[in-house]
């Protein structure tokens, strides 16, 4: 699963903060970004799109990515709930 390497991929693009993926089931997980230097509601939509397409490229169908928390909306981190079928 591509998201198991999320922390490594994140460090290639950003100098601050960290990214972590926690599997919550065979076809679900939570992606969280901590201490990001910048964030915005439009950026979160881009991230949602990236996660959806990454899952589809890995063969997933019925992909759902829901923003659970966002600093741009008063949250403490960026958190997304991911779910899919294969």
Return the pLDDT at 11: 85
Fold classified for 2-85: H-NOX domain (3.90.1520)
d(CA 22, CA 39): 21
Residue 56 has a pLDDT of 94
Instruction: Specify the pLDDT at position 6.
Output: 83
The DSSP 8-state label assigned to residue 73 in this structure reads G
- What pLDDT does residue 83 have? 97
Which pair of structure tokens corresponds to residue 86?
A: 């294969």
Domain limits of the chain? 2-85
What CA–CA distance (Å, rounded) separates 27 from 41? Answer: 26
Residues of the chain falling short of pLDDT 70: 1
Q: Assess contact for 83 and 77: CB atoms under 8 A.
A: no
Copy the structure tokens of residue 6.
């999320």
Nearest 5°: CA angle at 53, between 46 and 31?
65
Q: How far apart (Å, rounded) are the C-alpha atoms in residues 53 and 47?
A: 10
């Amino acid at each position: 699963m591509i998201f198991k390497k999320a922390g490594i991929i994140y460090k290639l693009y950003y100098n601050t903060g960290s990214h972590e993926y926690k599997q919550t089931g065979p076809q679900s997980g939570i992606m969280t970004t901590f201490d990001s230097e910048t964030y915005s509601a439009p950026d979160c939509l881009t991230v949602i799109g990236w996660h959806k397409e990454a899952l589809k490229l890995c063969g997933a169908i019925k992909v759902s990515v829901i923003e659970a928390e966002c600093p741009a909306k008063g949250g403490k981190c960026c958190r997304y709930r991911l779910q899919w079928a294969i």
